[in-house]
Structure 1
């Protein structure tokens, strides 16, 4: 009997060791499983649709009740994925909106073709054709960081497809970078810390255990070629929107973390100046991940903006980040 107990304990110890080794090698597995449980609990479904020959993944949350169809499409940022909107999706659905959040080509659970085009123009085309594939003629369109750039381009190129426009800590205007292009492809603990310091100043250290860092760096390196191609199309400057934004005619919401170290607050304020019909909300003590780390006031302002009839007048206001 002792031998049997010893064998069982050794087997359990071996399983634990294998599990620990796997999580060390692939810490995103645990993150993904936890996220999927959260999404499922909030009634958010994983779906796929063919777009331009690619099987594009998206998250979908249907509103409760049988009110009028009010579709919202959310576009993630550089190196990100649809599930980064996880705190906003259920709140918008509870507010009566049919929410879609896609993984752009090369990101999340969408395909990552070796010869793929991950430029701003290509991702804008994927986004527009995603709406066509789902037969969504006119949506409220939201974009975060690079996704905000894609969203603004689409609103300019296809204004008939966008009812209202929301951007969160958005790229798309010229500003002097205070970081190297390699920032988004960390290769060791120091470069990982540098990236986190830009996107989550003073908040991330309690969230990322040191044992997970090597696996996370490994994942960044695996996706490096995609991020570099996307970021390269942003750097060449031909798609900057500074001189095009006067063409935006739909109501626009601009949300910004006042402590954003990646895309500074002054960029958001300049965007507000360039779009006369825009509403600006600054969230104090929040960085680039405003829609995650400061979700309650962001969701509240987003719903207020979407529900306003007539659209809200031009304004600028600030709120404190939730504790």
Structure 2
């Protein structure tokens, strides 16, 4: 979820003859250019990764939904998070996989904008939900007596809806503004997803105000939520270290460890993409960094949350009907 500095293949000069900047209605999502055997391997790898991601997150969402004992705010947020991850990874990975076996690797501008919109909207919803989960953990540990009265089921439902609605409204105006711009040849996007950077590079005219607006919205949702999470966990850490019981401290750290790991995995790649425009990262490196928060993070989150959580393990075993699932 960032404004990439990627450029399209070849310079764009609007002073060239009309035939050189004819308007186009599709572009080429180049992805990774390599030999055919490597393309087949990458197709298999991405398809397998996608299947595992859907299975893992789907299993957790179903397990938490079916086990009434886990209908608590923490697990309700986790179930919603897993459900969100399914749609998040589905917005990009299927197209990536298909492109590995395609010679043309084309995508219509309508399809490109739809991918851009859903990928960024779901990513924004994920940022908001991770923040809400941090607030939930803070209240549960630092305000245990008031927690049941504060974090009610009704409030949880409102927070779910708020995260989804705000996520899908956040980039709506930039999408509309960018879609109204004229696009010219060359129409090659040297990236794995439809990112604002390559789309701006395809435009016939420069739009610095729209670029600044889009970058500002992206920065606010990423850095704003990250700072909120850091702030709440700073207060939480201070409270935990002040606990007289070592057992209580261990339980508190264990409860927050999975969420911190998920936040770190998701935000590390985002931060690298945002603080590195001046570091001159290659196009290939930017593609790999994008894959971390678009593919790797949704794949490992089910493992992170179920690895040391006995309640989730028990729920998974009950739903999947196996005694040795984890």
Above 0.5 in TM-score? no
**TM-score normalized by structure 1?**
0.27
Higher fraction of strand: 1
Q: Which is bigger in relative contact order (C-alpha 8 A, separation at least 6)?
A: 2
**TM-score normalized by structure 2?**
0.27
> Rg: which structure is higher?
2
